[in-house]
A and B are shown apart, each in its own frame.
Chain A
Amino acid sequence: AQTVTQSQPEMSVQEAETVTLSCTYDTSENNYYLFWYKQPPSRQMILVIRQEAYKQQNATENRFSVNFQKAAKSFSLKISDSQLGDTAMYFCAFIRATGTASKLTFGTGTRLQVTL
């Protein structure tokens, strides 16, 4: 079974600053995908960024980037130039490359507050 751990229940960052959210996972699989999802007060889960485990290059999406360390089973999210609209719950998630496609395993989340 896979587990995903987010050790930071809450984080706070000032507008325009940079913040890093941590995530570790445990799996015996070699092929898998990792995700960061954002859940604003509207409750809808929104995909922020995705990383394929077989790719060494870290994924980047505009102000969002990851630091993927496969050997350490670590997958952190860096948000640059934080904006008020980034305030939300952030969930790290894992999925196997084979098997049930939509069976994501989520962490417990990090609540991010962006302040003026």
Chain B
Amino acid sequence: DAGVTQSPTHLIKTRGQHVTLRCSPISGHKSVSWYQQVLGQGPQFIFQYYEKEERGRGNFPDRFSARQFPNYSSELNVNALLLGDSALYLCASSRQGGRSPGATNEKLFFGSGTQLSVL
């Protein structure tokens, strides 16, 4: 089976532009999460979606938005790009997304990320 796939792998934008990043989860996985990893730091949680509904949001401005489609793939959108948005954006998928008790420990499978550079 294919793993979590993200596109594009690399992207260069200029300040003020808009960007859309895409993620396809592992087949059978209904939950997708997005993380931002700035150089030299650990990933930071941005969003989680399960069954097309937002299940959680991290401490990011409203310029960041996401959605999940009926096939469980997801898009992360960032408006009005800033230099500080330059980072590796990681997508992770899991089967349930914490829907049942004790499920918060279910295994997350990460993609290889999209490297975004804002100039």
Contact = CB atoms under 8 A, between A and B. Distances in A.
Contact of B97 (A43, A97, A101, A106): A101
Contacts of A100: 45, 48, 55-56, 98, 104
Nearest to B88: A43
Given A102-B31, A109-B42, A46 B55 contact: no
Contacts, number: 87
Contacts of B94: 101-102
B18 interface: no
Contacts of A44: 3, 110-113
Interface of B: 3, 31, 33, 35, 40-45, 48, 50, 55-56, 58, 88, 90, 92, 94, 96-99, 102-108, 110-113, 115
User: Would you list the 7 A-B pairs with minimal beta carbon distance, nearest first?
Assistant: A101-B98, A106-B42, A100-B56, A102-B33, A45-B110, A33-B105, A101-B104
25 contacts: A42-B112, A43-B90, A43-B112, A44-B3, A44-B112, A45-B108, A50-B105, A95-B105, A96-B104, A98-B104, A100-B98, A101-B31, A101-B48, A101-B56, A101-B94, A101-B96, A101-B106, A102-B94, A102-B97, A103-B45, A103-B48, A104-B35, A107-B42, A108-B42, A109-B42
